[in-house]
Amino acid sequence: MSYDLLKGKRGIIFGALDENSIAWKTAERVHSEGGTFVLTNAPVAMRMGQIKTLAEQTGSEVIPADATNQEDLENLVSRSVEILGGKLDFVLHSIGMSINVRKGRHYTDEKYDFTAKGWDISALSFHRVMQTLYKADAMNEWGSIVALTYMAAQRTFPDYNDMADNKAYLESVARSFGYFFGKEKKVRVNTISQSPTATTAGSGVKGFDGFISYAEKMSPLGNASAQDCADFTVSLFSDLTRKVTMQNLFHDGGFSNTGVSQEVIEKFE
């Protein structure tokens, strides 16, 4: 169903890789709600993914940008405003990568060059994106910026590795920058703490399948899918959530407030 929630709104969507990714599903949903946008991803991810297909489906342009590169971001923001015909109303930051995880290094055996690079890509890039938007005065009043995160920022999940630290930093940036963006420009900044989701990025974590089924058994409403997350993101981009800012919003079927579920008890009895 479509409600025209984003009619006339413009934005940038980072991180659509393939049809499993949350950013991809969000782009489709934004399109169905009447929003227009520019798609962007790192040049290396663009070679791996199918972003051009999504661009065709949604009538969007693709601008490659490395979110850790200042020139790339400045070019992305100015060209997006030009292509879309005005200031932006929404931005989705869906970027995360840990080289320690990729290279199979345990949390107690981090290679700090890898850690720094992963932090730059996954967390500091959110500050960079917002600072670029802020300095260029590229957001309309009552615009909305959303980044995707995970509950490992608050609780320990042994195999989530240094991504947990990256997500904690990302959530802090949302609060800190959210204050200034709200005060100065009436722009809201939030993070969505999503259920474990079967995306290309998520599946890289060891023991992921077992964890997804555990979370499913723990959550009273079950896990939130990538499609559910796209719907929730659209609600945060819309004018219906104008006074929601600096929040980390758990979108996880109730997992974050459940101590234990009946199914889990039965499994261990």
Output the six-digit token pair for 36: 């227009």
Averaged pLDDT for residues 174-178 = 98
* 15 in a labelled binding site: yes
How crowded is residue 182: how many other Cβ atoms within 10 Å of its Cβ? Answer: 15
Q: What 3-state class would DSSP assign to 97?
A: coil
Catalytic residue (choose from 150, 169, 179, 214): 150
What is the pLDDT averaged over residues 237-259?
Answer: 98
Averaged pLDDT, 198-206: 74
Assess whether pLDDT exceeds 80 at residue 229.
Answer: yes
- The yes-or-no answer on residue 150 being catalytic is yes
Is 206 assigned a ligand-binding role in the annotation? no
Q: How far is CA 7 from the centre of its chain?
A: 22
Distance (Å, whole) CA 248 – CA 70: 26
Per DSSP, the three-state class of 23 is: helix
Least confident segment among 90-99, 129-138, 146-155, 199-208? 199-208
Question: To the nearest 10°, the Cα dihedral for 264, 152, 23, 191?
Answer: 110
Tokens representing 65 are: 């940008």
pLDDT for residue 127 is more than 90:
yes
Model confidence at 162: pLDDT above 70: yes
pLDDT number for residue 204: 67
Residue 160 is a catalytic residue = yes
Q: Is 167 annotated as a binding residue?
A: yes
Sheet with 61-62: strands ordered across: 61-62, 36-40, 10-14, 88-93, 139-149, 188-194, 248-251
- Could you tell me if 197 and 253 are in contact, meaning their C-beta atoms sit under 8 angstroms apart? no
CATH class of the domain comprising 10-268: alpha beta
Instruction: Give CA–CA dist 234/156, Å, rounded.
Output: 29
265 belongs to an annotated ligand binding site: no
Residue 21 assigned as binding residue: yes
Domains of the chain, by residue range, sit at 10-268
Q: What percent of the chain has a predicted confidence (pLDDT) above 90?
A: 92
Of the listed 107, 112, 160, 214, which one is catalytic? 160
Q: What is the pLDDT of residue 48?
A: 79
* Strand intervals (E) in 19-117: 36-40, 61-62, 88-93
Q: Is the pTM of this model over 0.95?
A: yes
CA distance to 33, 169, 183, 222, per residue, from 163 (Å) = 32, 10, 30, 24
Q: Residue 92: name the closest of 152, 140, 37 by CA.
A: 37
pLDDT band, very low/low/confident/very high, at 206 (cuts 50, 70, 90): confident
